[in-house]
Amino acid sequence: MSDVGIGYKYCFVVKKIYYEDIIKGNKTVEGRIADRKRTYMKLTKNDIIAFRPGQGAKIGCFAKIKDVQTFDTFENMLNSVGFSSCLPNCRSVEEGVNVYRSINNYANEEIEKGVVALSFRIIPFQSNYRRI
């Protein structure tokens, strides 16, 4: 629960570059490994989530889930939802796949568990930064 009274079901910690893309509205899909043990796999349409730029960050933004889709591979996910929705700074699906597979153990887990795409829209506030 945040100090502004918004309850959220999961908080995603993302790199600052991706956080900036989220609050600018350029990144509208969060891609992750479809690990059934992870809390984010229980998210459904209209659930509220939070994003924060780094593990120690005390600020963040809130979003509402629009859709949750699972895929066998990052390539299938990026082709389906659009690579620029997930990784706005990438120039191709191939480059996006390489970004995901460069994350610690994601290449192996992609094969074992598949991937999930969480589409979202930012909940607007007077400020893009909120304590969470």
Q: Model's pTM, two decimal places?
A: 0.90
Band the pLDDT of 1: cuts 50, 70, 90: very low
Q: Tell me, yes or no, whether 15 lies in a domain.
A: yes
Q: Can you give the residue range of the structural domain that contains 100?
A: 10-124
> Taking a C-beta distance cutoff of 8 angstroms, is the pair 48, 7 a contact?
yes
Q: Tell me, yes or no, whether 100 lies in a domain.
A: yes
Question: How many structural domains compose the chain?
Answer: 1
Express each pLDDT in 68-116 by its tens digit: 999 999 999 999 999 999 999 999 999 999 999 999 999 999 999 999 9
Q: Tell me, yes or no, whether 130 lies in a domain.
A: no
Q: Does residue 132 surpass a pLDDT of 70?
A: no
How far apart are the C-alpha atoms of 124 and 7, rounded to whole Å? 15
